[in-house]
């Protein structure tokens, strides 16, 4: 028993460790400006990327840490817009090979440093899953840059600018910038599903130059994601509202006017959706329990079972058997139909069998007799042979003529 409890505790610790590890990797990704660039690219060029590409910022972050189907779908959608399009793009993980082939040509123009992954006869597929999440982010960022330089993307921007769209729609402006090199960036998707507040700090590092005996200053960029949900935005707005920096006060007012109301509306919408889903689940569970206790699996009318046997259709008892039925074949009916004179009626036309049915028939024959009517009840025959019919007609004609 103790071993089982220890095992269960170990699984819980592993789950907590994986969750903490995931949060740590996501926080590292949020400390890179490349992630903000990817999210902004997907929002700006969403109309030409396709309506089915509906991924949130959190989905992309999780996919970069743990490659999943959502991340694969994102890369495939981007690769479809970069000619030549591979025919095996939809195959399992073949998009990694197409990614490496495209970026191997474009890398010097869209990225810096050495490319993290190169084509290697299919080995690159397994290597991609072993990459650091930051390297996967760099590959995705470079792919977005290549996609932005395609003809349809450039035409989309030019046409929008001709129609009067502001350049700030495609190129973000900082919401605040002070004299120390600190800038604040607020980015929200067009559908309002994702809101982010970033802070960029630029510092200069001096490197001595032996020739001119002067120092060269190289900028160093530090990127930070300050807020990504309603709680974070509320804390930042409250903190910046009492700040001594005029830029931070202006940022606080911007958040209170735009970001926080939009996030509150989004939260209420999600809560209503969750409550509606819970009500539907409760109704389905209640209906299932009621049907289970009543013994019915579904609501339906109670129908009388259909039987095509002669006994049940005509109300005769089972004890009568075939003997009673055979006896009725030759017995005259009490509801005899009287025909006018001149009407020719015979046994064949009346539906009465002209031969005797043997009583020594088997069970199959008896069942067949029960399943079909043996007398035409709508008409009762007058048993007159054909020859007698002709003789009577001849006598009646003679009497009438005289």
What pLDDT is attached to residue 323? Answer: 46
Which of 79-93, 140-154, 354-368 is modeled with the greatest confidence? 140-154
Which of 49-63, 211-225, 364-378 is modeled with the greatest confidence? 49-63
Largest CA distance in the chain: 158
Which of 44-53, 77-86, 337-346 is modeled with the greatest confidence? 77-86
CB 4 within 8 Å of CB 111: no
% the chain with pLDDT above 70: 64
What pLDDT is attached to residue 79? Answer: 95
From CA 145, how far away is CA 149, in angstroms rounded?
Answer: 7
Q: What is the pLDDT of residues 317-344, one digit of tens each?
A: 444 444 444 444 444 444 455 545 554 4
From CA 102, how far away is CA 77, in angstroms rounded?
Answer: 14
What pLDDT is attached to residue 224? Answer: 94
The angle at the Cα of 358, spanning 354 to 362, to the nearest 5 degrees, equals: 130
- Where residue 275 falls (left for φ over 0; alpha for ψ -120 to 50; beta otherwise) is alpha
CB 117 within 8 Å of CB 139: yes
User: Domain map of the chain by residue range?
Assistant: 15-169, 176-205+219-279
131 DSSP 8-state letter: S
The angle at the Cα of 265, spanning 263 to 267, to the nearest 5 degrees, equals: 70
Whether residue 272 has pLDDT greater than 80? yes
Q: What is the pLDDT of residues 279-322, one digit of tens each?
A: 888 888 877 777 655 555 555 556 666 666 655 545 444 444 44
């Amino acid at each position: 028993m103790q071993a089982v409890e220890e095992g269960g505790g170990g699984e819980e610790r592993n789950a907590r460790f994986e969750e903490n590890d995931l949060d740590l990797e996501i926080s590292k990704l949020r400390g890179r400006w490349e992630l903000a660039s990817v999210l902004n690219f997907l929002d700006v060029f969403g109309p030409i990327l396709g309506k089915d590409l509906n991924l949130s910022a959190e989905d992309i972050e999780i996919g970069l840490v743990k490659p999943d189907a959502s991340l694969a779908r994102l890369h495939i959608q981007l690769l479809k817009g970069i000619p030549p399009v591979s025919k095996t793009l939809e195959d399992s993980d073949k998009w990694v090979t197409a990614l490496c082939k495209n970026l191997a040509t474009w890398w010097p123009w869209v990225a810096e440093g050495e490319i993290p992954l190169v084509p290697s006869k299919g080995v690159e597929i397994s290597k991609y899953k072993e990459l650091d999440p930051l390297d996967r982010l760099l590959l995705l960022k470079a792919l977005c840059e290549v996609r932005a330089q395609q003809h349809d993307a450039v035409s989309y921007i030019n046409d929008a600018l001709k129609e009067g769209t502001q350049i700030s729609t495609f190129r973000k402006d900082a919401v605040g910038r002070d004299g120390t090199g600190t800038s604040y960036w607020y980015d929200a998707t067009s559908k309002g599903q994702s809101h982010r507040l970033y802070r960029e700090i630029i510092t200069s590092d001096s490197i001595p130059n032996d020739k001119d005996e002067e120092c060269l200053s190289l900028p160093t960029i530090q990127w930070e994601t300050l807020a990504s949900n309603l709680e974070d935005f509320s804390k930042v707005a409250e903190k910046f509202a009492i700040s001594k920096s005029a830029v931070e006060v202006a940022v606080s007012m911007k958040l209170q006017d735009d970001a926080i109301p939009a996030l509150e509306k989004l939260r209420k919408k999600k809560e209503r959706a969750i409550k509606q889903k819970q009500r539907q689940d409760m109704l389905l569970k209640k209906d299932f329990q009621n049907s289970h206790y009543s013994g019915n699996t579904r609501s339906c009318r109670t129908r009388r079972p259909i039987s095509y046997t002669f006994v049940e259709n005509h109300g005769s008892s089972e004890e009568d058997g075939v003997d009673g039925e055979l006896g009725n074949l030759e017995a005259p009916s009490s509801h005899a139909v009287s025909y006018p004179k001149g009407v020719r009626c015979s046994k064949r036309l009346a539906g009465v069998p002209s031969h005797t049915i043997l009583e020594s028939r088997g069970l199959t024959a008896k069942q067949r007799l029960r399943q079909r009517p043996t007398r035409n009840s709508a008409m009762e025959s007058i048993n007159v042979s054909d020859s007698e019919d002709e003789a009577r007609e001849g006598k009646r004609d003679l009497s009438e003529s005289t």
